[in-house]
Amino acid sequence: MVTGGGTGARRIRLTEELCQVAELEHSLCLQYLYAAFSLKTRPEEGGIDEVQAELVREWKGQLLLLAREEMLHLGLALNLLAAVGGAAHLHRPNFPQPERYYPLGTVAALEPFSATSLERFLDYERPSAPRPAPEPGARSAPEAAEPGGRGPQTVGQLYSWIRATVLDLEEKELFIGSRYRQVDSAAVIDPEGVLDEDVTVGYGVEPFSIDDRASALRAIDLIVEQGEGAEEDREGSHYHRLLRIRAELDAELAAARTGRPFVPARPLLRNPVVRPVPDAEGTTLISEPLAREAAELFDDGYGLLVLMLLRFYSRVDEAPTERQLIQRVAFFPLMTMFVRPLGEVLSELPARAGNPPASAGPPFAFRRGLALIPEARVAHQVFAERLAALAVRSRRLARRMRAANVPDRLQHRTVLLAKDVARMSRSFAGEVVRP
């Protein structure tokens, strides 16, 4: 029970800030994925030689790792929401998101890897000014994080707002949520408890339960240190790794001006869509039928993943075995055996006829209806139906790819993808309890 109007108002604000953080972490994860998918992997694609191909593959690996770590940041943000009485928040606006949407003043867009997109990532991850340590036993007012009434200019400053609020509110009044609706490393990586402890760590920031001020501050500080790095020279932070990629890119572009070609990314569309979306302007339509079919399949699979994650992080009324059932599909088969391979296939499929040539890229469209289904049995039935539909459509796409004039490697990947989705569908359907 809220004991005072002040606490209630501050909880509302804190919940809003955490929802904004969740949207930003979700959005940034997808932007890193899109840039990674755009990078070439073979000299035969043109614009890179054997040595440059190794460098570009390293960049791709780094961007994929950043995307994975943003997902872990999102998981901690959702745990924070649950701890202070909020609900799992996986909604986000569609791409592109204009500068005015968030107070950071940075556009959120799906763009191929380039010096421009790299600078945008650096803007997101740029370290904030060093934060003064609070006096022992003192609480710091959130307004202090907003000098002159201005909003945050980086993700790190937004986390500073949240940190100040956590410090300012009474601990017993703030942490009213249950640990039941939170997710830790074991729930994600080893839900059945069969692995040694050292196997379930290694992602840099691991999900853990939050139930007091100390664990909340630990979560916030870990996210900031791994992302912005708190200080510009922190080795291994997102900001530091992006700076290193920018330095290497600058060196290659300088060499290209003296005659050594360097075109590391495929010409993916900016903010691709298969149909107009209601909350975004500046999208680019995929018009080629094969790419449209693959993109629609991708969006439906991504939407199913979001629905499953909402259920997994909400934990309304599932038994442990039912939660494990969702975990075995959402983490990580649907991510690694569907989202990544189909996203990479889309990065090589022609998006439109004529010139200039362009590849499609995954739209990551966020459609209506991606909301929590409250009843567990109903949700599981919906998941089973959607997985079965994905399996049928994946097989159809694989047949169309075999009949189309596309490289053998893309045909082979879609065949494997279809087999993996069929296996996921059979496994889930075999265990789901129907209403």
pLDDT band for 434, please (50, 70, 90 cuts): low
Q: Is the pLDDT of residue 268 over 70?
A: yes
In the chain, count H helices and then E strands: 14, 2
Distance of alpha carbon 102 from alpha carbon 108, whole angstroms: 9
pLDDT band for 233, please (50, 70, 90 cuts): low
Over residues 358-362, the mean pLDDT reads 96
What CATH number has the domain spanning 1-266? 1.20.1260
Taking the domains of the chain in order of start, what are their residue ranges?
1-266, 269-435
- Checking phi first, is residue 137 left (phi over 0); if not, alpha (psi -120 to 50) or beta? left
- Mean residue pLDDT of the chain comes to 86
Distance of alpha carbon 217 from alpha carbon 215, whole angstroms: 6
Residue 205 is predicted with a pLDDT of: 53
pTM over 0.85: yes
Residue 156 is predicted with a pLDDT of: 81
Q: Is the pLDDT of residue 8 over 80?
A: yes
pLDDT band for 354, please (50, 70, 90 cuts): confident
Sign of the torsion formed by the C-alpha atoms of 170, 172, 173 and 178:
positive
User: Which of the two residues, 114 and 259, has the higher pLDDT score?
Assistant: 114
Q: Give φ, ψ of 350 to 5 degrees.
A: -60, 135
Residue 2 is predicted with a pLDDT of: 39
- 1-266 shares its CATH topology with 269-435: yes
pLDDT band for 195, please (50, 70, 90 cuts): very low
Over residues 29-48, the mean pLDDT reads 96
* Percent of the chain's residues with pLDDT above 70: 86
Q: Is the pLDDT of residue 149 over 50?
A: no
Does the N-terminal peptide bond of residue 332 adopt cis geometry, omega within 30 degrees of 0?
yes
CATH architecture for residues 269-435: Up-down Bundle (1.20)
